[in-house]
């Protein structure tokens, strides 16, 4: 904040008085009246009141009055009223005494209107239907509403689907891995198995018996009385294709592996406790309670067996 303004070329500084400097300016007048007047006007008491001087180009040797700092002044000014007709002028004509009133939040309240706040222009985000301030909003209300509902409804459905997919992906990562699943199936070429022979494969950690049955064996099994079996099961229920018997080679008694082409019934014989199975894998004699388990299998192609 500067208290005085520095002299610059072009500045006008006002000085009043300065009587002593001006004594040389005016040429001496011979007329006594003028001398009296000029003396009076130059006297130190009256000069400041009778005249005032403004320096056009300052030379630094005359006094300058201290400068003025122009700060920001907020003035409350009532603009002059506009009265252009006799009626409006008459409304401003007084007819009685002035009485002023004030109250709590009634008359004469100070309200701070922040006119420097600028409301941003949101027209980029507004719908075209309602951009016109003269358009009635009820006319476009149903179309706007249905658009909103469809977008939101579709978004919700998509979101739910996405959420479900993500959750199931994470949860199913805890199930069996691919290498384990790969070992869950076995493909067997049936052409390699001669008739009457039973081949053992390792499947899911268990022995798998695949027997190529002869016609006599099939005949024998079909004629067995199912009522006499400990675990009654028809041969057609156990073999999809009668020529092929596919069973899990685990004895149902205590889990030993039966031997093929052994026992009294032309099928399998478990040496641990003496269980006899026939060529359909059904228990005939011995301590085992159930027939040999038949896994899920299929013949995807001619001469190929897929188990698991």
Partner 1 sequence: MASKLTKPGLLKNVVQRSYGAQAATQQTSYTLPQHQPQVTSLPSGVVVASQENNSPVSRVAVLFKAGSRYEGPNHLGASHMLRTCVGLGTNNTTAFSITRSLQQLGGSLEAEGGREHILYGLEVIRDNLDGGLELLGEVSTQPSFKTWEMKDNLRRVKTELALREPSTLALEMLHKAAFRNTGLANSIFVSDFRLGKLSSDMLKDYVAQTHQAGRMVVVGLGVDHSALVNYAKGLSVGAGDGPAGASVYGGGELRHESDAPISVIAVAGSGASLGSSDAAALAVAQHILGVGPSVKYGSNASSALAKAVAGSGGSGMASAVNISYSDAGLFGYFVVAESATADKVVRAAHSAVKGLKVTEAETAKGKTCVKAAIHMASESSGECLADMGLQALLLGKYNDPVAAAAAIDAVTPSAVDAALRKVFSGKLSMSVLGNANIGYLDQL
Q: Give the contacts of 29 (CB within 8 A, at least 6 positions apart).
A: 35, 38
Interacting positions 87-116 with partner 1 (CB under 8 A): 87, 89-110
- Choose the catalytic residue: 45, 212, 273, 276: 273
Pairing of strands 275-278, 283-285: antiparallel
Ordered DSSP codes for 191-258 = GGS-TT-EEEEEETTEEEEEEE--HHHHHHHHTS-GGGSSS---HHHH-SSTTEEEEE---TTT-PPP
Interacting positions 129-158 with partner 1 (CB under 8 A): none
> What is the rounded CA–CA span in Å between residue 308 and residue 86?
107
Sketch the per residue contact string, 53 through 92, with partner 1: x for CB under 8 A, - otherwise: -----------------------xxx-xxxx--xx-xxxx
Sketch the per residue contact string, 159 through 198, with partner 1: x for CB under 8 A, - otherwise: ----------------------------------------
> What is the rounded CA–CA span in Å between residue 252 and residue 61?
129
CA dist 4 → 7, 66, 68, 275 (Å): 9, 5, 7, 124
Establish whether 22 is a catalytic residue: no
Query: For partner 1, which is the closer residue by CB, 83 or 254?
Result: 83
Least distance (Å) between residue 35 CB and partner 1: 37
Least distance (Å) between residue 68 CB and partner 1: 20
Least distance (Å) between residue 113 CB and partner 1: 12
Contact positions toward partner 1, by CB under 8 A? 76-78, 80-83, 86-87, 89-110
Catalytically annotated residues: 273
């Amino acid at each position: 904040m500067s208290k005085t303004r520095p002299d610059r070329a072009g500045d006008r500084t006002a000085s009043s008085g300065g009587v002593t400097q001006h004594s040389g300016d005016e040429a001496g007048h011979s007329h006594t009246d003028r001398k009296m007047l000029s003396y009076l006007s130059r006297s130190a008491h009256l000069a400041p009141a009778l005249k005032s001087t403004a320096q056009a180009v300052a030379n630094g040797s005359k006094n300058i009055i201290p400068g003025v700092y122009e700060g920001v002044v907020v003035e409350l000014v009532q603009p002059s009223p506009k009265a252009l007709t006799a009626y409006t002028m008459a409304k401003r004509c007084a007819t009685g005494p002035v009485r002023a009133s004030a109250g709590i939040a009634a008359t004469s309240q100070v309200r701070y209107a922040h006119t420097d706040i600028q409301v941003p222009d949101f027209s980029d985000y507004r719908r075209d239907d309602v951009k016109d301030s003269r358009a009635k909003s009820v006319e476009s209300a149903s179309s706007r509403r249905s658009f909103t509902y469809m977008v939101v409804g579709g978004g919700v459905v998509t979101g739910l689907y996405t959420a479900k997919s993500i959750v199931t992906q994470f949860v199913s990562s805890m199930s069996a891995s691919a290498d384990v699943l790969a070992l869950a199936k076995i493909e067997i070429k049936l052409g390699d198995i001669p008739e009457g022979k039973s081949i053992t494969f390792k499947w899911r950690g268990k022995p798998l018996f695949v027997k190529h049955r002869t016609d006599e064996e099939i005949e024998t099994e079909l004629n067995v009385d199912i009522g006499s079996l400990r675990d009654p099961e028809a041969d057609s229920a156990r073999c999809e294709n009668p020529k092929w018997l596919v069973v899990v080679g685990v004895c149902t008694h205590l889990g030993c592996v039966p031997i093929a082409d052994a026992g009294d019934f032309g099928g399998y014989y478990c040496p641990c406790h003496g269980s006899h199975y026939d060529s359909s894998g059904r228990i005939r004699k011995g301590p085992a309670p159930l027939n040999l388990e038949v896994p899920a299998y299929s013949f995807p192609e001619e001469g190929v067996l897929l188990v698991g």
